Amino acid sequence: MATTFGTPRQPPAEQALRDHPRAALDANSVRDAYRRWAGVYDAVFGGVSSSGRRRAVAAVNRLPGTRVLEVGVGTGLALPRYRGDKRVVGIDLSREMLLKAEERVREERLGHVEGLLEMDAEQMAFRDGAFDIAVAMFTASVVPDAKKLMAEMQRVVRPGGHLLFVNHFAAEAGPRWWVERTMAPLSRILGWHPDFAFSDLFDREAVQVEAIQPCPPAGLFTLVHLRNTAPGALAVAAAA
């Protein structure tokens, strides 16, 4: 096996981020973006994201526990798919998107939806361990700080509960990577990070991964299922 000495080359994705730093998102830019999207979101994104939503909710429905938090509920596209015995609370930063979700709940008489709240996912008002499951669909790349989102989801889900994410994660090479690299400076206009990576959300060594599955179309989205471990549990397990 050949061995190469010298300074390791920086991975392409990291080099791209250094050369083309992403535009920072903040709560106001996210609100502004989704105020613009609210009226057309279902028509523009509903179809392409439907498979990922179906898979995420199907996974939630199979899991034990009834208390479900949907983070970034948006217009409520996923709400009709939850089983009737799941008690669902949805939060979103966009009031305009929530109004659409409330309309959906009324029109479809979704009695399993217990509340829709305007709330910052990085600073939730729920007590520790309030939920059995938290699911974020196409939300992680929207929030200003995905690791704060992750920490808050871990806090509000009981130890042993479940965290699920459906999201676009950046390619590591190839044509799609170049497109994502080019779009990265437009994050504030788009309202999401096209170059969002797994490492922006969590450290794989610090979480208990249950499953990572590609979703249609063409693996553009990924379903990530994590078990919510008690603080320090992974470190104890590794030392045993």
Token pair of 50 as six digits: 């439907």
In a domain? residue 1:
no
Token pair of 100 as six digits: 């659409």
Amino acid identity, position 101: A
Q: Which residues constitute the domain of residue 216?
A: 22-239
In a domain? residue 13:
no
pLDDT value of position 150: 96
In a domain? residue 2:
no
Angstrom distance (rounded) from CA 26 to CA 28: 6
Give the model confidence (pLDDT) of 104-144 as tens digits.
999 999 999 999 999 999 999 999 999 999 999 989 888 88
In a domain? residue 106:
yes
In degrees, rounded to 5, the angle at the alpha carbon of residue 214 between the alpha carbons of residues 47 and 59 is 80
In a domain? residue 36:
yes
Token pair of 104 as six digits: 């959906």
Cα 154 off chain centre by: 13
pLDDT value of position 60: 98
**Regarding predicted confidence, which is higher, 13 or 169?**
169
| Short-list 132, 136, 128, 126, CA closest to 74 | 136
DSSP 184-226: GGGHHHHTS-TT--HHHH--GGGSEEEEEEEESSTT-EEEEEE
Cβ–Cβ < 8 Å for 53, 137? yes
Q: Across the chain, what does the average pLDDT equal?
A: 77
pLDDT value of position 216: 81
Give the model confidence (pLDDT) of 174-206 as tens digits.
444 444 454 444 444 444 445 577 888 999 889
In a domain? residue 7:
no
In a domain? residue 49:
yes
Question: CATH number, domain at 42?
Answer: 3.40.50.150
Strand partners, 91: 71, 117
Tally of structural domains, the chain: 1
This prediction's pTM: 0.74
Query: pLDDT grade, residue 148 (50/70/90)?
Result: very high
In a domain? residue 150:
yes
